[in-house]
Amino acid sequence: MKRKLISAIGIAGMVVSIAACGGEGGGGGSDKGADAKELTVWLTVDAQNNWPELVKAADAALRKKHPGVRINHEYYGWPDKNAKLDAVLATDKAPDVVEMGNTEMLGYMVKGAFAPLDASEFDNSDAWLDGLKASVTYEDKTYGVPYYAGGRVANWRGDVAASVGVKTPPKTYRELTAALDKIQKKRGGKFSAWYQPTRDWYAAMSFVYDAGGAIATESGGQWKASLSSPESLKGLKEFKNVVDRYMHGDKTKDESDRYIVYGQGKSAMIFAAAWEGATAEDPKNDKTGKLKGNLENFVMPGPSGRNMPVFLGGSDLAVPVKSDARALAAEWIDAFTGSSGQKGLMAKGNLPNNKTDLATLKNDPKTAVPAIAAESNWFVPMAPGWGQVEKAQILQTMLQSIGTGKKSVEAAAKEADTAIDKVINTK
């Protein structure tokens, strides 16, 4: 699940007065609001439309402990949620619980918008998935609770693979490329054996992290871009190799309409969010009539010999620092994201927020692939200026230059490092 990270600049105005009223006490570790009689919870429409019974269960759990408490729910769409949140955080009427896309958290944590929480007070916090834990952690403090996750998997057309004698999904990167080479040779230059949008930085950075590289590294409290490191360059060069050999579509595109392109039948494979394959085979998108029953998810093997590390998208829950019911908010979050809530979310097709529950999904053939894939994951640098890196689309620009051949991998990476270093440490 992809969320656009709000620019740190864009929320500067809303937090002018937040730092003054923040303090160290917050969330589960604070008594502030323990006797509050009212709680306001902001969630996205995903919860309203897909698992309202889980919301009701969390409400019931809180009311059992606090009879008479009033719980108000407001639901927002992803496109307009942050603008409304920014506006209300500039007032004294902040909600008590807010849902955030995990890539949206950083800008708000940097600016002091959320209260620190005591992670030990939340179910399974010692087993949170690494990428999700990173999304709620800033300067060694916890400012949110992971809610659920969505991972990335490889998906290919089994019928196309079978046409070149490959009957089962590959287990290794060498097996994968051997199969794709056969498919590409048979289908010709107008067909993409692997449709891999050039500007898809989530996929490209998986190659970087698989090779032992990183977007940026931290030392002594300062972040420095590292796309020009030998390890990162190795990953970027293999990404370019994939684009050059198998991607025969528009090499200036991003991944936003990948499932639509996949549904047109001009490609045999994608490396994408787990929902994209199923969406491509929906009759509305399947222009071939051949995708249903022929698409197979599999764990993406990495060139390193290990499973490819994947970016974990998803949602977190946070408590605004201006909340008058912080303790109550923390209790509601724990009821909603705890063990019973995670089971309910998994039943709806989501990945859980923790390794313990994730392990149970590995035993079910229907859920094994996304669960195994999610075990190896990465997240964006938790640097104060990361929002500015995303806003400037530095990674996308670099990848387009590499994919189109406008610049060498080394030159594009060096230019990206320079641009990243200018803003990554800026609050």
pLDDT above 50 for 28: no
Q: b/e for 222-236, b at 16 or more Cβ within 10 A?
A: ebebbbbbebbbbbb
Q: How confident is the model at residue 286 (pLDDT cuts 50, 70, 90)?
A: very high
Range in 11-25, 202-216, 320-334 with the lowest mean pLDDT: 11-25
| pLDDT surpassing 50 at residue 129 | yes
What would the two tokens of residue 223 be?
């972040």
What contacts 7, CB < 8 A, 6 or more positions away? Answer: 107, 387, 388, 390, 391
Helix (H, G, I), strand (E, B) or coil at 419: helix
Which sign, positive or negative, has the C-alpha torsion 84, 27, 65, 91?
negative
Contact between 72 and 41 (Cβ < 8 Å): yes
Give the pLDDT of residue 386: 94
Question: What's residue 245's pLDDT?
Answer: 98
**Nearest of 368, 364, 417, 423 to residue 395 by alpha carbon:** 417
Confidence of residue 99 (pLDDT cuts 50, 70, 90): very high
User: Would you place residue 33 in the very low, low, confident or very high pLDDT band (cuts 50, 70, 90)?
Assistant: low
- Cα end-to-end distance, the chain, whole Å: 26
In sequence order, what E strands does 292-380 have? 295-298, 310-311, 313-318, 377-378
Nearest alpha-carbon partner for 377 in 235, 229, 209, 227: 209
pLDDT digits 0-9 by tens, 365-403: 889 999 999 999 999 999 999 999 999 999 999 999 999
Q: How far is CA 115 from CA 21, 87, 94, in A?
A: 10, 18, 12
The pLDDT tens digits for 218-274 are 999 999 999 999 999 999 999 999 999 999 999 999 999 999 999 999 999 999 999
Whole-number Cα distances in Å, 211 to 218, 237, 369:
18, 10, 22
Mean pLDDT of 11-36: 46
Average pLDDT rounded to a whole number, residues 309-315: 94
Higher pLDDT, 92 or 243: 243
Q: What is the pLDDT of residue 23?
A: 38
Contacts (Cβ under 8 Å, ≥6 apart) of 250: none
Q: List beta partners, residue 377.
A: 310
Q: Please give the helix or strand (H or E) that residue 220 lies within, else none.
A: none
Kindly indicate the confidence band of residue 17, based on its pLDDT and cuts at 50, 70 and 90: very low
- Write down the residue that tokens 């190896």 correspond to: 376
The whole-number pLDDT of residue 427 equals: 86
Q: What would the mean pLDDT of 325-335 be, rounded to a whole number?
A: 97
Residue type, 282: D
Contact 146, 353 (CB under 8 A): yes
Query: Residue 38: beta bridge partners?
Result: 70
- d(CA 144, CA 125) in angstroms, rounded, equals 11
pLDDT for 32 equals 64
Question: In which band, very low, low, confident or very high, does the pLDDT at 31 lie, cut at 50, 70 and 90?
Answer: low
pLDDT exceeds 90 at position 11: no
Q: What is the pLDDT of residues 137-187, one digit of tens each?
A: 999 999 999 999 988 999 999 999 999 999 999 999 999 999 999 999 999
Bridge-partner residues for 138, per DSSP? 141
Q: What are phi and psi of 324, to 5 degrees?
A: -95, 5
What H or E segment, with its residue span, contains residue 78? helix 78-89
Look-up: residue for tokens 């008594």?
31
Contact 138, 102 (CB under 8 A): no
Q: What pLDDT, on the 0 to 100 scale, is given for residue 26?
A: 37
H or E segment to which residue 269 belongs? strand 269-273
pLDDT at 30 over 90: no
* The two structure tokens encoding residue 11: 């929320």
| Model pLDDT, residue 41 | 98
pLDDT for residue 2: 39
Cα 326 to its chain centre, rounded Å, is 26
pLDDT over 50 at 21, yes or no:
no
Percent of the chain with pLDDT over 70: 92
Q: Which residues contact 27 (CB under 8 A, 6 or more apart)?
A: 115, 116, 117, 118, 142, 319, 326, 327, 329, 330
The predicted-structure confidence for 342-353, as pLDDT tens digits, reads as follows 999 999 989 999
- pLDDT tens for 259-284 read 999 999 999 999 999 999 999 999 99
The whole-angstrom distance between residue 45's C-alpha and the CA centroid of its chain comes to: 18
